[in-house]
Amino acid sequence: MPGTANSELKSEVLLRCVGCGAITPVDESGLTCTICGNLLEVLFPLPGSELPNPAALKSLWLKRRTSPLAEDQSGVWRFREVLPALGEAHAPITLREGNTALYELSLCARLAGVQRLFAKHQGMNPTGSFKDTGMTVAASFARKDGFRWVACASTGNTSASMAAYAARGGMKSLVLIPDGKISWSKLSQALEYGAVTCQVKTDFDGCMKILNEIVSRMPIYLLNSINPFRLEGQKTVAFELMEHFDWQPPDHIIVPGGNLGNSSALGKALLEMKDLGLISRLPKLSVIQAEGANALVRTVREKAGRELVQVHAETLATAIRIGNPASWKKAVRVLEASGGTVEQVSEVEIALAKAEIGADGIGCEPASAVTLAGLKKLVKQGFVKPNESVVLVLTGHLLKDPDFTLKFHRGDLFEGRPHEKEAAILATRQRAPIVLDATVDAVLKTLEAAEKQP
Ligand code: F0G
């Protein structure tokens, strides 16, 4: 990477441009291709390297789950055969991320009209979001390369995760977040882990623009998902998912789309697993966006995926409030390779789906709930058949955005907004807190009334 603090380090990692296909050693490249300006990805497997035996890999990865070593206990590093090599001399920065649960969602399955529905809950990671799986890898490479500073622009989860891994790795971190547009819970995480946290008076896309300029001038390592090492870590979620299914892929995987790093990473993993002989067919990977932040949906529908349609993003699902997604080309490639699709969902549909996932005893943050809202539409359209198996990737924990949840249950989430009328359908899921006199009688009466409710 440019500005590499420790320039004598030579790495065996090669990067390939997703536009022109040019291949460069990591030590000689930046975050974008010097020939055509497109994003880069880690080349795997390395040309000429011997491909590992799939059966041996499966049993090795499973065996590591009972090992006491930190790098084996990490749900990311236990798959290290498919990750860029950190080298013997460098320990990974790990919080024992990954190894998240796969839950069956029975209520949501009924509501969506499918027989088998699962949630791969990435909100169960150490800082409460899927970002940790990528951060452990990219932060470890930043430290290996001798960086003192790491930085990101964020809608909240990347910054929380980066700040934690930087602190664990003895590095300083700089966070740029859109002023007033991220949840307090995510902001408080960055503060607690000691990041220099700047609330910039712009949106995510504006923060990204400023940060790109800063990292080009200073020896600061960029930890946004345009960093190919982030996506390598996030890849392991798909490996773990296939392991859950004993390497018999489900029919559909559905993910939320923001900056589109996650969908790109999962897609890269699926293609690699197929090439390695770990799975015999690809699940369809589909991406769901909020109607107000639907750059990929429009790119696919209006430009056949060939040219990015940027949008001015607006949604209460602040994590995916992104109008200029960096990894759109990678995501389009994944959609095409896996036969997946794109869909958009309204603010009210997101809120309803979030409460339904909560009612299944799981819970997630608003951005994650677009997956269920999108699935309902895909079933209605016939793209997902009732007898097909579906996995929703839930990207963030319920506690990431308590304001949204409280407002939803109090019934004022859409107050004064254009969606107020449509929001009437949310009433059956709303459970406002009940203020009572301090008597047994008052509680008993409340119980009685609740018993009569459907
Ligand atoms: N879900 C959650 C909870 C997120 O935080 C994000 C992105 C996404 C989905 C979308 O993932 O960008 O890979 O398509 N959050 C970033 C952040 C942008 O800064 O925390 P994506």
Of the pLDDT bands very low, low, confident and very high (cuts 50, 70, 90), residue 9 is very low
Q: Tell me, what's the pLDDT at 386?
A: 98
Chain position carrying tokens 């009972």 = 66
d(CA 394, CA 123): 7
Report pLDDT digits (tens) over 142-152: 999 999 999 99
DSSP 201-269: SS-HHHHHHHHHHHHHHSSEEE-STTSHHHHHHHHHHHHHHHHHTTT---SEEEEE-SSSHHHHHHHHH
Q: Could you give the maximum distance between any two Cα atoms of the chain, in Å?
A: 76
Report pLDDT digits (tens) over 208-232: 999 999 999 999 999 999 999 999 9
- CA of 356 from ligand 1 middle (Å) equals 21
Of the pLDDT bands very low, low, confident and very high (cuts 50, 70, 90), residue 52 is confident
Mean pLDDT score, 152-170: 98
- CA of 59 from ligand 1 middle (Å) equals 32
d(CA 121, CA 143): 28
Residue of 39, 125, 132, 155 with the most ligand 1 atoms within 8 Å of its CB, for mutation? 155
Q: Euclidean distance between the first and final Cα of the chain, in Å?
A: 59
Residue of 181, 197, 262, 332 with the most ligand 1 atoms within 8 Å of its CB, for mutation? 262
- CA of 318 from ligand 1 middle (Å) equals 9
Q: Is-contact 129 396, C-beta < 8 A?
A: yes
Structure tokens at 405: 């949840």
Q: Tell me, what's the pLDDT at 31?
A: 87
Mean pLDDT score, 50-59: 91
Is the pLDDT at 3 greater than 50, yes or no? no
Is the pLDDT at 2 greater than 50, yes or no? no
Is the pLDDT at 20 greater than 70, yes or no? yes
DSSP 178-212: ETT-S-HHHHHHHHHTT-EEEEESS-HHHHHHHHH
Report pLDDT digits (tens) over 121-148: 999 999 999 999 999 999 999 999 999 9
d(CA 96, CA 79): 13
d(CA 383, CA 137): 35
Of the pLDDT bands very low, low, confident and very high (cuts 50, 70, 90), residue 12 is confident
Report pLDDT digits (tens) over 57-89: 999 999 999 999 999 999 999 999 999 999 999
Of 12-21, 346-355, 372-381, least confident by mean pLDDT is 12-21
Give the number of the atom of ligand 1 that is nearest the alpha carbon of residue 287. 14
- CA of 17 from ligand 1 middle (Å) equals 23
- CA of 259 from ligand 1 middle (Å) equals 7
- The values of phi and psi at residue 392, to 5°, are -95, 130
- CA of 245 from ligand 1 middle (Å) equals 25
- CA of 155 from ligand 1 middle (Å) equals 7
Report pLDDT digits (tens) over 381-438: 999 999 999 999 999 999 999 999 999 999 999 999 888 889 999 999 999 999 999 9
Q: Tell me, what's the pLDDT at 6?
A: 39
Mean pLDDT score, 96-113: 98
pTM of the full structure: 0.95
Q: Is-contact 136 77, C-beta < 8 A?
A: yes
3-state secondary structure (DSSP) of residue 280: coil
DSSP conformation class of 330:
H
Q: Tell me, what's the pLDDT at 93?
A: 98
Of the pLDDT bands very low, low, confident and very high (cuts 50, 70, 90), residue 107 is very high
Residue nearest to atom 10 of ligand 1 (CA): 258
Q: Is-contact 285 338, C-beta < 8 A?
A: yes
Ligand 1, pocket residues at CB < 6 Å? 129, 131, 154-158, 225, 256-263, 319-320, 365, 367-368, 395-396
Give the number of the atom of ligand 1 that is nearest the alpha carbon of residue 158. 20
DSSP 3-65: T-S-TT-----EEEETTT--EEEGGG--SB-TTT--BEEE-SSPTTPPPPPHHHHHHHHHHGG
- Which residues, in sequence order, are bridge partners of residue 176? 153, 198
Q: Calculate the average pLDDT of the chain.
A: 95
Structure tokens at 142: 């930043």
Which CA distances in Å does 173 have to 5, 50, 162, 209, 225? Answer: 16, 38, 7, 18, 16
Number of H helices, E strands in the chain: 15, 13
- Which residues, in sequence order, are bridge partners of residue 103? 119
Mean pLDDT score, 367-378: 98
Of the pLDDT bands very low, low, confident and very high (cuts 50, 70, 90), residue 330 is very high
Q: Tell me, what's the pLDDT at 140?
A: 98
Mean pLDDT score, 166-171: 98
